[in-house]
Amino acid sequence: MRKCLSSLAAVGVLSVSLFAQKPAWQPAPGHLSLNLWPHGAPGAVTNSAAEVDTTTAKDHLIAGKPVIRLGNVSTPSLTVYAPKQKNTGAAIVVFPGGGYHILAMDLEGTEVCDWLNSAGITCVLVKYRVPDSGPYPKSPAALQDAQRALGIVRSHAAEWHIDPTRIGALGFSAGAHLSAALSTHFEQRLYDPIDEADRVSCRPDFAVIVYPGYLALSEQNFAPNAEIHVTSQTPPSFMVQAEDDPVHVENSTVYFLALKSAKVPAEMHLYANGGHGYGLRRTELPVTSWPRLVETWLQTIQVVSARTQSPTH
């Protein structure tokens, strides 16, 4: 599973040493960005490699377009994308995927924020530490960043025009695992508290899990990952995946059954075809219409009202 999950990441990681490096990703002007850790990330080690977009001309295109594959992230941050028109008050913290090796910052990041903003939802894009920062407990780094990011958003809710009871998490692939890990590891921080952001809850109010990995262990006949311990306090969750996903659709089905067993509201959509790593770029495959399903689900769980639904996707 890990080999497949790194499909976006593998060539990108290799290209760091084989090809010319590009400048690090930066958000477009006009968006608030904050480093997650004011005095450096916990357990951080000196990283001589510069943060770079590892994408090359030889990398696979998604829906005919390249993907930013950001590597060597040692200074994690968040960027706030506020809706320009109507604001529903809901917010979603977004975790791009990339096998915990790189971050697909546009495919599973900025493009997601454009969609969420169109639906009146504040998007908070997290640039968490990679490579090899997860899955937890292999390393606590990515989950530390996720806990810290959710706490920062909730502590700034009034300032950022967000309802602190309607803050969700959305992740893709490894980022989907990270969203599930955050949904099941929120009672105790994995680091020493720093400020007020670490004294508020880091539990997401809901979670969107898109083509996840690491939730079912292929080497153990797809047994549930014991580190993702679902309880009645796990937030309502939405899952979408394709049956032909090389990362294995059991990652969604196992997690769904765990949620069901714990009586946590859950919705799951499985498609025959789609593969892995499509983000929300539209193709001829029905699976790429999943954003509309998420919007409908957010109405179902009363995060947004029906009249705020986006006209796109």
Extents of the domains making up the chain: 2-39+49-304
Q: How many CA atoms lie within 13 A of 160 on its CB side?
A: 26
Q: Is the pLDDT of residue 276 over 70?
A: yes
φ, ψ of residue 148 in degrees (nearest 5)? -65, -45
State the average pLDDT over residues 254-262: 98
Q: Is the pLDDT of residue 131 over 90?
A: yes
Q: Is the pLDDT of residue 3 over 60?
A: no
Structure tokens at 240: 């979408």
Residue 56's pLDDT is what?
86
Pairing mode, strands 77-81 and 122-127? antiparallel
Residue 82's pLDDT is what?
98
Strand stretches in 96-205, DSSP E: 103-104, 122-127, 167-172
Q: How far apart are CA 252 and CA 256, in angstroms?
A: 6
CATH topology of domain 2-39+49-304: Rossmann fold (3.40.50)
Q: Is the pLDDT of residue 302 over 90?
A: yes
Q: Is the pLDDT of residue 288 over 60?
A: yes
**Torsional class of 159: left (φ above 0), alpha (ψ -120 to 50), beta (otherwise):** alpha
Q: Is the pLDDT of residue 111 over 50?
A: yes
Q: Is the pLDDT of residue 16 over 50?
A: no
